[in-house]
């Protein structure tokens, strides 16, 4: 098994998610370089994790770090200006979600990846952290028959700080990107229309939306109804997948199968994968793709369809109309 030298660009809070996920995988990845324009943040993070290569300039990082793969953890408004020179230098990229704030810029990043022949993968770690992948397998096995509806609820209180509070796109960009991606994964189908409504609560200090309701119709006929709140003092995260032969009740660590005529679940599956472990898993999908030449399941090309759902939800909310994809 090849060991890859990895460099991380952006030493803010989310970089620790990656560093924690990678530190037990030294036979596969070794973080040898860190880049951030803020030298205090850079050195504090590098000191904590024993990273020798430290760069305050992206140009110096590209020229001198000697890494095999770059992990981009910058704020989402800074994705393309960072990814473009990395791809031009021939460095494969593993980037935080969303890999762009807009569909137009995401398409530009995918075009650059294709132009240079260098892959980009996206850290959609909730495919594993929330049990979307095992739910997909249960659905694919025909356990609940044809899926007609998916109801997703994510309610909690969240007050961000720093750059996020100034973003015009907030709650859906932070959490909806996970749920859109996971539902299209479990259904094995792509969205064909999106209708959304956004609100902003005074309880949360931010420029963008704090609450949203979105309905998505998929090519296979299933409909996703999704409610998001960053202003709720009542916490709930659950997904209900309704099929013609049964229903799945999915939470962070359990999947319960309910059947007509039964008061209690007839089967329960458990799944517990940390965000850190799932983040390493996403990076390893990119590394495996480099070795096999096959597209990674979390490629930017694939994730472009998730970005299209996210973008459509914002366009729909802003223009008050159903957006066709």
Contact between residue 52 and residue 43 where contact means Cβ atoms under 8 Å apart? no
pLDDT confidence of residue 159: 98
User: 214: closest CA among 170, 307, 152?
Assistant: 152
Which of 18-47 are b and which e, b meaning 16 or more Cβ less than 10 Å from the residue's Cβ?
A: bbbbbeeeeebbbbbbbbbeeeebbbebbe
pLDDT computed for residue 183 by the predictor: 98
Whether 72 and 9 have beta carbons less than 8 Å apart is answered as yes
Q: Which CATH architecture has domain 126-272+306-324?
A: 2-Layer Sandwich (3.30)
247-261 pLDDT, tens per residue?
Answer: 999 999 999 999 999
Cα gap 212→209, rounded to integer Å: 7
Whole-structure pTM value? 0.95
Could you give the dihedral angle defined by the CA atoms of residues 319, 97, 129 and 306, in that order, rounded to the nearest 10 degrees? 40
β 231-243/223-229 pair status: unpaired
Given a contact cutoff of 8 angstroms between Cβ atoms, the answer to whether 202 and 222 are in contact is: no
Which residue's entry shows tokens 């409504």? 197
What does each C-alpha distance from 296 to 14, 200, 236, 279 come to in angstroms?
Answer: 22, 36, 32, 14
Q: Which residues of the chain have pLDDT under 50?
A: none
* Residue range 4-125+277-299 in CATH 3.40.50.720: yes
**Where in the chain are the domains?**
4-125+277-299, 126-272+306-324
């Amino acid at each position: 098994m090849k060991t890859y030298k990895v460099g991380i660009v952006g030493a803010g809070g989310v970089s620790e998610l990656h560093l924690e996920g990678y530190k037990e995988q030294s036979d596969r990845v070794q973080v040898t370089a860190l880049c951030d324009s803020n030298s205090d943040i850079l050195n504090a993070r590098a000191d904590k994790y024993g990273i020798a290569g430290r760069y305050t300039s992206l140009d110096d990082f590209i020229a001198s770090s000697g890494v095999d793969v770059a992990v981009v953890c910058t704020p989402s408004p800074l994705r393309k200006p960072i990814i473009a020179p990395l791809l031009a230098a021939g460095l494969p990229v593993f980037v935080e979600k969303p890999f762009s704030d807009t569909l137009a810029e995401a398409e530009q990043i995918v075009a650059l990846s294709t132009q240079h022949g260098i892959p980009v993968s996206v850290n959609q770690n909730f495919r594993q952290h929330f049990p979307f992948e095992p739910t997909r397998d249960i659905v694919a096995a025909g356990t609940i028959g044809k899926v007609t509806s998916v109801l997703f609820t994510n309610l909690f209180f969240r007050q961000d700080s720093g750059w996020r509070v100034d973003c015009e796109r907030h709650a859906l960009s932070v959490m909806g990107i996970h749920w859109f991606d996971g539902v299209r994964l479990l259904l094995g189908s792509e969205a064909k229309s999106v209708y959304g409504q956004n609100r902003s609560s005074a309880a949360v200090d931010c420029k963008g939306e704090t609450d949203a309701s979105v309905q998505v119709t998929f090519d296979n006929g299933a409909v996703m109804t999704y409610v998001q709140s960053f202003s709720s003092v009542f916490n709930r995260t659950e997904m209900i997948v309704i099929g013609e032969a049964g229903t799945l009740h999915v939470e962070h660590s359990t999947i319960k199968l309910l059947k007509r005529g039964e008061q209690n679940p007839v089967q329960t599956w458990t799944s517990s994968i940390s965000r850190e472990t799932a983040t390493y898993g996403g990076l390893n999908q990119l590394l495996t793709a480099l070795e096999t030449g096959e597209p990674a399941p979390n490629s930017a090309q694939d994730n472009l369809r998730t970005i299209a759902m996210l973008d459509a939800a914002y366009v729909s909310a802003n223009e008050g109309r159903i957006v066709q994809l």
